Each structure stands twice: as structure tokens, then as C-alpha cells.
Structure 1
Amino acid sequence: MTRPSTANPTALTALAAVGAVAAGAAVWGIGIERHLYTVRRHELPILPTGSTPVRILHLSDAHMAPWQRHRQRWIAGLAELEPDLIVNTGDNLGHVDGLRGLRSALDPFRGIPGFFVHGSNDHAAPSPRNPLRYFAGPSKTTRSVEPLDTPALDGYLTETLGWVDLNNAAGSLSAAGRRIDAFGVSDAHRGWDRLDVLPDLVAGLRDEEDVPLLGVTHAPYRRVLDVFCDLGADAIFAGHTHGGQVRIPGSPAALVANCDIPLDQARGLSTWSHGGRTIPLNVSAGLGHSIYAPVRFGCRPEASLLELTARA
């Protein structure tokens, strides 16, 4: 005698539907969206009255591996935007041989002035991680990492491209016919930021009025943003968060940020207030991802083009 089935057809149908949605999301995030690069455009009215605009290309978190030729070509093509200035907020490398791919991506920007800071992946290669750990708080330093050739990276950025190193440092350059001052810190996520040295460095820059002052950091921790605001930055540039990398489509906030910035400020242009000042803050969702987490969902890889214009 055949025993009647106890399976619930509705439950089986629902389970199959959930599985199909999950599979479709994985195909989209791994196979499609992580290659859908985009440019976010913003206007920042922070220059003195009567100034001509300055176009800043903000690049971050390329996490470059040598085989990522589509990413390399797309970044190289951004030179057609004709930026006046590059701001690079770190994590350029994602592999021990990543500099070879990075050269292919950035060589077209020779002759365009720029500033840069480090992320941890400019010093150490990525390692496998459980992505669910990010929901428990910012990631921890792994005990054993494969070192990268940071001196070769810095030599390329400073000597070949002519960019200014802002790792716990300050500097000036000329872009679009005007002077731009900037200061920055090394990766605050690893505790490499030396906020204590910045006041004297910034004071040494402020010898002229109406020179825009930019603050540059890889990881936008609150302590860093507060000090940048107090030191008189006219705008802050950051990366590190990947915009959450996996987001609920349409949600204004990321699920995680891997630092203590508010989740609704983990991507894009917003403002930061401290000590009676409110200034623009641009957090790039970045161009890449770890080779051990090749996915983007609801968060396309990006570069930012910000036009500095005259104040009203």
C-alpha cells in the first residue's frame, strides 16, 4: 500500500522560488554588477568667488590584480574626462603582482597632478575572510599576511605620475592654474593615522588666503573626520567602505561599512559636522573588491568626478 506524501506543495514551491532568487542574485552580483562601472558626478561650491572650476577625479579601492583587464581599461578610459586633479584614497593593490595591472590603469594620467594615501592593501595582500564577520564590526588584522612592494607602488605614484604622498603628511600642488593644499593620514582602519602631527603640518601650509584645503583619508573613521573638520578642511575624500559592497537595492544605507561612519554615509556625497563647521564629505564606493569576495550587489563599482566651483 502506497503511503500518501506528507510534503506541502506550497512550501516546496516557496523553497524553490527562494533558491531561484538566491541563485539569480549570485549570478548578477558575481557575474554582472561587479563589472558595471559608473561615474558619480557632484558639484562642490567651495572655491573663492569668481574662481574657475577645478575638476577632481576621485579614485579608490581598485584592489588590482594583474588579470583584471576590463577594470584596467575602464579606469584608463577615465582620462577622457580630462580631470584637473586626481585624489586617490588607497587600496590600489589586490595581489602581489597588482602593480603591473595598476600601471596599465593609471599610465594615461601621467602629467595630471594628484594626491594619494594608503589603505592596508597597499602594504599587505588580501586573505580569505568570512564575509559574515563584517556584521560583527570592523575587520581585524590577520596575524600572517603576504607583504606587498609598497616602495615600488609609492615610487610609481610619486616619480612616474608625480602625485603627492599625504600619508600623515601635507602638501600643495597646482591644478587648473590655482594652488590646492591638502593633508591626509595613512590607513586609520589599521591605526596608522597620526592625527597628532597634522596641526603643525597644516599650519605650515596656510600662508595664503582663499587656497582650498582638502582632507584625504582611506578609512572614514569619525575621529579622523572630526579632526579634519577642526583643521579647516574645505572638503574630505575617503574610500575603504566599498559602499557596503552588498546592499539592499533602493536602501539609502549600507548594511556594513567596516568602520564607524554612519551607514547612510558609507557611499557618495554627504556632509560632516564638527566644532561648528559643516563640510562636504565624499566617500567612494570604490572600483574593486577583494579577490576572495568577487561580488557587488546593489552597489556598482565607481569613480567620482567632483567639480569644485565658486561659492555663491
Structure 2
Amino acid sequence: MPDLTAIRRAALGVAGASVLGLGYATLIERNAFTLREVTVPVLAPGASTVRVLHISDLHMTPGQKLKQNWLRELDALEPDLVVNTGDNLSHPKAVPAVVQALGGLLARPGLFVFGSNDYFAPVLKNPLAYFDRDHERVYGPPLPWGDLRAAFTERGWQDMTHVRRTVEVGGVRIAVGGVDDPHLDRDRYETIAGPADPSADLRLGLTHSPEPRVLDRFAADGYDLVLAGHTHGGQLCLPFVGALVTNCGIDRSRVKGASKWGSHMRLHVSAGIGTSPFAPARFFCRPEATLLTLVPASRDNAQQDAGSTAESAGSRR
């Protein structure tokens, strides 16, 4: 006969471990904000180094003071360029909180595209749906993305939604192209299609969701680097396994961080800073911003994957 006492103890042990894990994921790790630093060899030979702060997926609500205070500290990094790849909002009254949290970063050169949770509020979802790429999408009420866009552009950041333009940062010419969120099928790559400027020191693509159909178009047009978010790095990951899902078409090995896409292009996917209010947990996937140090490509580093990575809790200063 089975030992019922042993079975009960085992069941209680599993239940206890689950409660502890959930408590850690919701109370500790989702607030353990991290700065990652990555060196990416993508610039033209002889170009000056450029430091790009990549932020994404803030999913801000007005009362998230810890997140807002941490974001304010990022300005002390003094990046040359800030890139925001969307999903800033999770509440209809969050625009002032986003603007105040970004603080001094809005006075620096900046580029942005929007994601689904800039346009629509998050809603409660069945978490198992994320394992089905073709699941029916459910959207919440509209969010004030127009107000957020106005706040960003009034402070000098440039909206790269279906736009191509050249910007100069520290003497480095950057040809930039961006698309609207592929997760909502709002991308219209044909509006920016064509070879990226070959005379630029860097050809940079922006998208919220790193869908392969969009990445392939950027690569075919000669872009050197694409920045994206959306995946939350998998959000709930397992030791020695990593992310279980990406919530888009890329493979799990590219769910966060830097990688190569094809023979030439580099991809950087941010694991993001926030979560949906309906899934406020992270496990083995800390919320993050990334300071990308872009350096000239060379024969020695052209064969490397996408640079070296170092992590530190909070700001490095």
C-alpha cells in the first residue's frame, strides 16, 4: 500500500515550494531592476564609439514608484542615444508617470516606436495561450498613445514609426528605419523598404516585436543592427532551460540579449522593464535596461556572436 503520510508530505512540499516561488517572482524578482551592458561591433571602420541605452516594455501604471525611481537613475549613464521600443503603458493615466520617470533621458537624443500596450490596455489572459502562436488576440480599451507621442516629440525624441531618417550622434551618422508593431499586424515595411544608406556609419532598424518577417526585410535592406522588445525575455524561465515561450516568431535562443540574424545583421532583444498588471511576476528573468556600446566592426570581431555581456544590479554608478 502507498505510504499516505509520505505522499501528503511530498504534496505539501511541492505546494510550499510553489508558494515560495510565486512570492519570489511577484515580490522580489519583478522589482530587481538590472542594467545589462553589451558591446556590439557594428559601426563602420574608424567611427567613434556610441553608447545607446535600449529601454522597452515599461508597462507603467501610476503607482509603480520603485520602477519610476530606477528609471530616473538611468540618466546618470549619460548615453549618447536613447532607443525606446514600445509598450510603455499599462494604464490610461500612466502617461505622466512615464514622462516623469524618463526625466533627463528625454533631454537626450532619442528614437522610439510603439507596441501593442501603447495602443491598447492589457487584459486578463489564459497563460497557456502563449504556447499557441495562432491564439486569438484579445485587446483592452484604447490607451492615450497620442498623448505619449506628443510628450516624447515635444521633448525632442523622434517617432520612427514607418519613417526613415538619418541622425548624427557624436559625429556618427546613423541611418534609421522603423516599423509599427508587428504583433498587431500594424507593420507596413513597404513604407520604408529599400537599401539602407551605405554611406552611414550605422544602419539601425527599430521594431517592437521581433517577428522574422520584419527582421528578414531589415537584413535584406542592409541594416547592421535591429533593436526590439516585446518578449519580456520569456518572463517566466526555468534554470538550465531558459524561456519557455517568446510570444512571437523568433526561437527561444534569441528571446533576450544580442544575437546574429543571418550572415550580417545583429539583433538585440530587450527583456523589458515591466510586466502586465495581470501577470506581475518574473522568474529567472530580471527586468532590465541595456547599455549598448557600439564599436567599429573588424575582422577579429566580425565572426563573434553579438559581443560580450556583463550584468549588474541597478545602475553601474
Aligned to 1:258: 247
Unpaired runs of 5+ in structure 1? none
Aligned to 2:181: 187
TM-score by length of 1: 0.91
Whether 2:24 is the aligned partner of 1:38: answer no
Residue from 106, 109, 112 that aligns with 1:110:
106
On the 8 A contact 1:94/1:121 being kept in 2, the answer is yes
Aligned to 2:214: 224
1:136-161, Cα deviation, whole Å (9 max, x unpaired): 2265332x63111111111111112x
Aligned to 1:80: 76
Alpha-carbon distance, 1:170 to partner: 1.4
Aligned to 1:9: 5
Whether 2:291 is the aligned partner of 1:305: answer yes
Aligned to 1:158: 153
Higher Cα Rg, which structure: 1
Alpha-carbon distance, 1:51 to partner: 2.0
Report the aligned-residue RMSD. 1.6
Alpha-carbon distance, 1:79 to partner: 0.7
1:1-312 alignment, distance < 5 Å: 8-137=4-133, 140-142=136-138, 145-160=140-155, 162-200=156-194, 206=197, 209-251=199-241, 253-273=242-262, 277-312=263-298
Alpha-carbon distance, 1:173 to partner: 1.8
SS in 1 for 2:260: strand
Aligned to 2:306: none
Aligned partners of 1:210 and 1:98: how far apart in 2? 37
Amino acid paired to 2:177: F
Unpaired runs of 5+ in structure 2? 299-317
Q: How many residues are treated as equivalent by the alignment?
A: 298
SS in 2 for 1:199: coil
Residues 69 and 166 (structure 1 numbering): CA distance in 2 closer, same or farther, change over 3 Å?
Answer: same
1:78-130, Cα deviation, whole Å (9 max, x unpaired): 11111000111000111101112101211211321111111011111111111
Residues 9 and 165 (structure 1 numbering): CA distance in 2 closer, same or farther, change over 3 Å?
Answer: same
On the 8 A contact 2:59/2:275 being kept in 1, the answer is yes
Moved over 3 A (4+): none
On the 8 A contact 1:236/1:282 being kept in 2, the answer is yes
TM-score by length of 2: 0.90
Aligned partners of 1:76 and 1:176: how far apart in 2? 23
SS in 1 for 2:238: coil
